[in-house]
Amino acid sequence: MAESKEEDVSLGANKFTERQPLGTAAQTDKDYKEPLPAPLFEPGELKSWSFYRAGIAEFMATLLFLYITVLTVMGVGRAPNKCASVGTQGIAWAFGGMIFALVYCTAGISGGHINPAVTLGLFLARKLSLTRALFYMVMQCLGAICGAGVVKGFMKGPYERLKGGANIVSHGYTKGDALGAEIVGTFILVYTVFSATDAKRNARDSHVPILAPLPIGFAVFLVHLATIPITGTGINPARSLGAAIIYNQDQAWDDHWIFWVGPFIGAVLAAAYHQIVIRAIPFKNRG
C-alpha cells in the first residue's frame, strides 16, 4: 500500500488529479533539498564565460529598462495634461511591464536582477557570491547610464526640459517621507522576488505553473502607482543613478542618497524577513 502511494506521487498530478490536492498540501518537504549557500568568494567564476555573459545580460536588460521607462516618463511630462497621454498609471505599467519582460528574458542567464537592491538582497541570502554581486551592480549601473544616454542622444532638448526621468523628492514631501517610501517600496519588491523564486515553493507547488516574472513585474507596477507622486519611484539605485548622471542638474543630486539608502535598507529588511521569519532557516539546524 505504501509503495502504491509513493508511485502515485512520483507519477505526478497529471495522471492522478483527483488524488493530488492543489496548494501547499500537494507535496511534502521531502521533495525539496535546501541548496547550499553560495561561497562568499568564488575565484573560478572569473575564468568562466557564463559569469561575463550574465553581466552582459544585466547590462543590456538595465539599458533597455531605462530606455523604455525614461521615454514613457518624458511622454507624460510633455503632454498638455495627463489624460492626453498614458498618465501616471501608464508610467507604472511601463516600469512593471518592462521588468516582467526583462526578468523573463534574462532569468535563465543571470537571474534577471536588473536592480542593485535585488542583487544585495539575494547576496545577503547567499544566493550568489560577493564577486558576482559586485559585478552585477557595476553592470546594472553602466547599463542604466547608457540607457538614459541613448534617450538624451536623440532628443537632447526634450530630455533636459523634461528632467530626463530623474528621481526627485516632490514638493510637499519631506526627505523622511521619501526615504520611507523607498524603503517600503523596495521591501515589497525584494520580498516578492524571494517568494516568486523560492526553490522550496517551486518544489512544493511544481504542478501549479507560476511564472515568476509576473508577480515581480506586478509588484513594481503597484509600488510605482503608490510612490510616483512622492519620489517618482526609485526602488532601484541603478535606475536613479543612470537618470541623475545623464540629466546632471543640481536637483537630481540634492537628495540622491535617498535612492541608494532607501532601497538598500528595504532589501536588507526583505532578505531578513524572508530568511528568518518565512523560511526560518536559522532555526532549522536546532533541535
Provide, rounded to the nearest whole percent, the portion of the chain with pLDDT above 70.
82
**What does the pLDDT look like over 187-201, one tens digit per residue?**
999 999 999 988 777
| pLDDT by 10s per residue, the chain, length 287 | 545 544 444 444 444 333 333 334 444 455 567 778 888 888 888 889 999 999 999 999 999 999 999 999 998 887 777 666 788 899 999 999 999 999 999 999 999 999 999 999 999 999 999 999 999 999 999 999 999 999 999 888 889 888 889 999 999 999 999 999 999 999 999 999 999 988 777 666 655 556 889 999 999 999 999 999 999 999 999 999 999 999 999 999 999 999 999 999 999 999 999 999 987 777 665 54
Q: Which residues contact 241 (CB under 8 A, 6 or more apart)?
A: 141, 144, 145, 256, 259, 260
The domain locations on the chain are 43-280
The alpha carbon of 5 is separated from its chain's Cα centroid by a whole number of angstroms, namely: 40
Nearest to 187 by CA among 286, 121, 88: 121
CB 221 within 8 A of CB 96: yes
User: How far, in Å, CA of 108 to CA of 152, rounded?
Assistant: 31
Q: Which residues contact 85 (CB under 8 A, 6 or more apart)?
A: 75, 76, 79
pTM: 0.84
**What does the pLDDT look like over 253-279, one tens digit per residue?**
999 999 999 999 999 999 999 999 987
CB 91 within 8 A of CB 76: yes
Amino acid in position 9: V
Q: C-alpha cell of 263?
A: 532601497
Domain topology for 43-280: Glycerol uptake facilitator protein (1.20.1080)
User: How far, in Å, CA of 159 to CA of 122, rounded?
Assistant: 34
Q: Which residues contact 117 (CB under 8 A, 6 or more apart)?
A: 186, 189, 190, 235, 236, 237, 263, 264, 266, 267
